[in-house]
Amino acid sequence: MVRAGLAAVFVLVLFVVVAPLARAEPTHAIAMHGDPKYPPDFTHFDYVNPDAPKGGTLRLAWRGGFDSLNPYIIKGRPPIGIGLTYDTLMTASADEPFSHYGLVAESIETPDDRSWVIFRLNPDARFHDGHPITAEDVLFSFDVLREHGAPLYRFYYKDVDGAEALDDHTIKFTFSTDMNRELPLVLGQVPLLPKHYWEGRDFAETTLEPPVTSGPYRIADFEPGRFIRYERVKDYWGNDLPVTAGTYNFDAIVYDYYRDETVMVEALKAGDYDFRSEYVAKTWATAFDGEDLEAGRLVKRVFETSQVAPTQGYVMNMRRPPFDDPAVREAMAYAFDFAWANQNLFYGSYTRTRSNFDNSELAATGVPEGDELALLEPFRDQLPPRLFTEEYNPPSVEEAGNIRSNLRRGLEILREAGWTVQDGVMTNAETGQTLAFEILLRQPSMERLTLPYVQNLKRMGVEATVRIVDTAQFVNRVNTFDFDMISAIWAQSDSPGNEQRDFWSSETANVEGSRNLPGVTSPVVDALVEEVIRADSREDLVTAVHALDRVLQWTFYLVPHYHEENDRVVFWNRFGIPEVTPDSGAAVMTWWIDPEKDAALRAAGVLTDR
């Protein structure tokens, strides 16, 4: 499963079952494979300070806007941070590949084959309006998300055969298969919606009425497109749980919205907000020098991570010409000069992406052998022969800027596929179709990377144009697959599972709002996704992911970009930070306001009350 970021805050962690197949015993947590790290009597996660003081306001920023307070449908744009207001049955630890611990569910029960799961709810769990969270609310949440929520829920819950409330605080889910080990954990992540509130309302429609929720924060104030303010629920029912100890330490969290990244950077330097994750190498290298940095009032810090790198690149829409032709897709990568971009734009700070699971043991390397080869062998006649004899690597150059040999190779691939240059334009010799397409962007900062790419394409006779649109238009066009090529990113997980259906399966290729952006429709990919989901051990999972990764690599759906292997952040020095950093990097929801540091910044005139 993919771990959520600040927008969804923490994803839940589950519990492990050690009972024999004929019997299952309730337990406090569950792991995808093996045993969970923390025992039943644990008091807090290792990466928090359980004695962290509460108080103060965390000021953050986000780009774009929002027009709906319902984050679980494809209509509208929800505000960042809305996940802070919701509870789930379980919550994930940030220092394990995939384990969940009880939140609203005080225990979980599932047999060795994981063919069903029972959650027993904490009788103290309450919505913010005082109503208890019951099994009926869990059933309602499951049903409404599957029927009216974003498409990913339909595919996440595909193998759930039935759900029933055994009593007011106990719910059982039964599965149509015993080959989906992740399902108990997936169901532990169901966001809990109050049945008494949503009955009589249309869940599928956008709303700006703050809904009733149960999480550690509630919406205090907002203005669409400008800001949203969350306040800590001081009598939150879950305050004393081990999974919440040392977290949610700020009395308020405010997100201000900006339309321009440059303005956002300047606003941080001016002290208008507190914390920024920096993804632009040039900004990281040049924008934050100055007196405040030298004096230690502003901090630049790299947090080492060991999480799977996200997949980023130019995604080609295989549903329409010209990218329904695999030769065209392969050729497009030969015009992208990563070495030049890394040297001239990124200060040499990035690593080239070559896998869908880079920076981890899940990345496919070399050629398939052993168990992976056995897994791929039945599909040999459906796969390119090179997959079995060559390691996939994106085109590279020996010298930055010297891309002529790559362009020649790209031209060769196109000519072998029946394309020829006519009057300077690449043209299909049979159909007369010219090789022209639009690159759709929503971030102006991507233009400096894309325009040199367009120039290289032009040298191959390819007519590519760049169009930058606002966030609302971009999201709408991507949700309806109305694009030729886009720059996109997938967050991947240390423990891939059911989300891979939404990413790559044939049944999601034409479902609006799915994350199968390139439109992958491959029986081989479908089969390998199911192998990933049914993997019975960590070893089997790694083997299945290698096979899936390798087939996706040779599908050429992506012109791979790059990734940063660590977490780069800039923040005003007003925080206390736990001694232990989890594998996922800077966990700002475990930080707290340090009164002495905060006072020093105020004395220096950097911070003012808002």
Residue 13 has pLDDT above 70, yes or no: no
Residues 294 and 322 in one domain: no
Computed over every residue of the chain, the mean pLDDT equals 92
Find the mean pLDDT for residues 38-59.
Answer: 97
Task: Give the DSSP H/E element, type plus range, for residue 58.
Answer: strand 57-63
Asked whether the predicted pLDDT for residue 4 surpasses 80, the reply is no
Contact 287, 267 (CB under 8 A): no
User: CA-CA distance, 485 to 137, in Å (whole number)?
Assistant: 41
Integer Cα distance of 500 and 358 in angstroms: 16
Q: Are 525 and 548 in contact (CB under 8 A)?
A: yes
Residue 445 scores a pLDDT above 50: yes
Of the pLDDT bands very low, low, confident and very high (cuts 50, 70, 90), residue 15 is: very low
CA separation, residue 90 to residues 83, 151, 177 (Å): 14, 22, 22
pLDDT at 11 over 60: no
What does the pLDDT average to over 146-171? 94
Q: 160-164, 178-182, 410-414: lowest mean pLDDT where? A: 178-182
Residues 50-85 pLDDT 10s: 999 999 999 999 998 999 999 999 999 999 999 999
CATH code of 85's domain: 3.40.190.10
What is the per-residue pLDDT for 265?
95
Using the predicted structure, report yes or no on whether residue 5 has a pLDDT greater than 60.
no
Q: Which residues contact 311 (CB under 8 A, 6 or more apart)?
A: 353, 355, 356, 357, 358, 489, 490, 492, 558, 560
pLDDT value for 600: 92
* 383 shares its domain with 493: yes
Which of 205, 225, 241 is the C-terminal boundary of a domain?
205
Q: What tokens appear for 535 in the block?
A: 């993997």
Q: What pLDDT shows up at residue 610? A: 54
221: in domain: no
The model's confidence at residue 7, banded by pLDDT at 50, 70 and 90, is very low
479-515 per-position pLDDT tens digit: 999 999 999 998 888 889 999 999 999 999 999 999 9
Q: Is 433 inside any structural domain? A: yes
pLDDT attached to residue 88: 98
Beta pairing class for 275-277 and 298-304 = unpaired
CB-based burial label for 169 (10 Å; 0-12, 13-18, 19+): buried
In a shared domain, residues 370 and 488: yes
Residues 522 and 480 in one domain: yes
Structural contact between residues 236 and 216, judged by C-beta atoms closer than 8 angstroms: yes
pLDDT grade for 225, boundaries at 50, 70 and 90: confident
Is residue 371 predicted with pLDDT exceeding 90? yes
**Residue 571 maps to a domain:** yes
Identify whether residues 424 and 505 lie together within a single domain.
yes
Quote the number of domains for the chain.
3
Percent over 90 (pLDDT), the chain: 80
How does pLDDT run across 528-555, given as a tens digit for each residue?
Answer: 999 999 998 999 999 999 999 999 999 9
Q: Residue 115's pLDDT band (boundaries 50, 70, 90)?
A: very high
Give the mean pLDDT of 36-60.
97
- Per cent of the chain over pLDDT 70 is 95
Q: Which residue has the higher pLDDT, 3 or 268?
A: 268
Please spell the DSSP secondary structure of 252-277, one letter per residue.
EEEEEEES-HHHHHHHHHTTSSSEEE
Tell me how far apart the terminal alpha carbons of the chain are, to the nearest angstrom: 38
**Per-residue pLDDT at 20 exceeds 60:** no
pLDDT at 14 over 90: no
Residues 522 and 572 in one domain: no
Cα–Cα distance, 318 to 336 (Å, whole number): 19
* pLDDT tier at 609, thresholds 50, 70, 90: low
Q: Which of 94-103, 226-235, 247-256 has the lowest mean pLDDT?
A: 94-103
Over the stretch 278-294, which tens digit does the pLDDT of each residue have?
988 889 989 998 899 99
Structural domain contains residue 407: yes
Inside any domain, residue 605: yes
Same domain, 175 and 315: no
Q: Are 599 and 503 part of one and the same domain?
A: no
Instruction: Kindly provide the b/e burial profile for residues 244-276, where b requires at least 16 CB atoms within 10 angstroms of the residue's own CB.
Output: bbbbbbbbbbbbbbbeebeebbebbbebbbbbb
- Does any domain span residue 233? no
Looking at residues 514-519, what average pLDDT do you find? 96
* pLDDT at residue 239, as a whole number: 97
pLDDT at site 349: 84
297, 299, 81, 250: which is closest to 591 by C-alpha? 250
Q: In which band, very low, low, confident or very high, does the pLDDT at 443 lie, cut at 50, 70 and 90?
A: confident
Q: Is residue 51 part of a domain?
A: no
Q: Taking 50 as the threshold, does the pLDDT of residue 17 lie above it?
A: no
pLDDT value at residue 6: 34
**If pLDDT is split at 50, 70 and 90, which confidence band does 338 have?**
very high
Handedness of CA 361, 366, 371, 373 (dihedral sign): positive
Regarding whether 569 and 482 lie in a shared domain, the answer is: no
- Domain CATH number, residue 348: 3.10.105.10
Asked if residue 49 belongs to a domain, the reply is no
Same domain, 558 and 570: no
CA distances from 249 to 226, 369, 519 (A): 24, 49, 42
Tell me: do 477 and 555 sit in the same domain: yes
108 and 139 housed in the same domain: yes
Kindly tell me if the per-residue pLDDT of 22 is higher than 50. Answer: no
Instruction: Give the pLDDT of residue 361.
Output: 93
Lowest model confidence (mean pLDDT) among 132-141, 297-306, 477-486 = 297-306
What pLDDT band is residue 23 in, cutting at 50, 70 and 90?
Answer: low
Is it the case that residue 1 has pLDDT exceeding 70? no
Across residues 229-242, what is the average pLDDT? 97
Write out the residue range of the structural domain in which residue 139 sits.
Answer: 1-36+69-205
